[in-house]
Amino acid sequence: MSVQQQPPQSSMAITLQIVSIVFYTFIAFLCIGLPIAVLPGYVHEQLGFSAVVAGLVIGSQYLATLLSRPMAGRLSDTVGTKRAIVYGLLGIVLSGLLTLVSTLLQDVPSMSLIILIAGRLLLGIAQGLIGVGTISWCMGQVGAEHTARSIGWNGIASYGAIAIGAPLGVWMVADYGFTSLGIALSTLAAGALLLIRNKPSVPVVRGERLPFWRVFGRIAPFGASLSLASIGYGTLTTFITLYYLSRGWTGAAYCLTVFGVCFILSRLLFISAIARFGGFASAIACMSIETVGLSLLWLAPSTGYALIGAGLTGFGLSLVYPALGVEAIKQVPDSSRGAGLSAYAVFFDLALAIAGPLMGAVALNLGYSWIFLGAALLSVSALALTGWLKRRAIA
């Protein structure tokens, strides 16, 4: 008797499965977005600390994410993707409670600051666990052949959540005070924990577990190319307001809006191109578009040209992460998939960490317009490295 094969799933069915998993990324980044625009003001104005300390409070979360990447990958590979996400959601619940306690202790600024930083560290660790766990879960659920789509939708969930969370957090603080932030974080994460309880996970992949640093070495060439290309993102988001001010322009926020809209539209419309043309070809095409966009920002004679440059930059950058990710994950066995995703994400974290001081030094010595030339040249370097990786893969 022949065994009847299951019919292949439709593209829509695959997308719906992915969306049902990256929903937890959306919740995590909504919790990250809610306090992001109001915490610096809280630390500086309510607690009375300097702007530098306020910046360190925000940065502590990203440092925790970076340092916890190896742990996140190991947990995802060994205990399962669902459990890694559950641990992350529990971390957000605790982060919300600590944030609430911190705001109730405003009269003791030092204690309030210490508790707030502890909450930010937990939030950063949770970000790493959920980010890696959701992508790895998606790949196990719909297959490695849909890696680009899994990474792409995870990015849409994260960027979309921050875009919603930041203004929502400002509104909540204005109407309900800072205590509402901690309550919201804990409530959202607790609700997600209730929803995930009965959701079936994929089984843990058995096989050899490569040490993280060995995985890191295999991923490094692809991650280096990602870092070089992603510095343009960090440059635009960090310095576009100061760039506009240096030119005597207004409306820098519209530049960020155009960048974000083009970024998301590109992922929605063209994510399937990676499977069709391959990761290397897609990355090279996108880096080329990004380079044109950054060059246009460098040479822009007016805000109209700057908006076009920002749009092209967002359009190009959008698919670089998933396109290179497809090729990077091929370098590690399925049993070390979580470690591979974590190692790859480290390079994006590094790009954002490097962009500020590196381009700040360029702006200090040459002026703000030259930071976009610098980012464009780094994008060209990423193009060259990606081309070399493609030739090596063919050989």
Q: How confident is the model at residue 31 (pLDDT cuts 50, 70, 90)?
A: very high
Tell me, what's the pLDDT at 8? Answer: 62
Q: For 301-369, give the DSSP string.
A: SSHHHHHHHHHHHHHHHTTHHHHHHHHHHTTS-GGGHHHHHHHHHHHHHHHHHHHHHHHHHHHHHH-TT
Tell me, what's the pLDDT at 381? Answer: 97
Contact 169, 35 (CB under 8 A): yes
pTM (2 d.p.):
0.79
Class of domain 212-394: mainly alpha
The mean pLDDT value for 327-335 works out to: 86
pLDDT at residue 332 is higher than 70:
yes
CATH architecture of 12-196: Up-down Bundle (1.20)
CB atoms within 10 A of CB 241: 14
pLDDT at residue 135 is higher than 60:
yes
Beta carbons within 8 Å of 119's beta carbon, 6+ residues apart:
94, 95, 96, 97, 98, 99, 102, 182
CATH 1.20.1250.20 residue window(s) in the chain: 12-196, 212-394
Tell me, what's the pLDDT at 4? Answer: 45
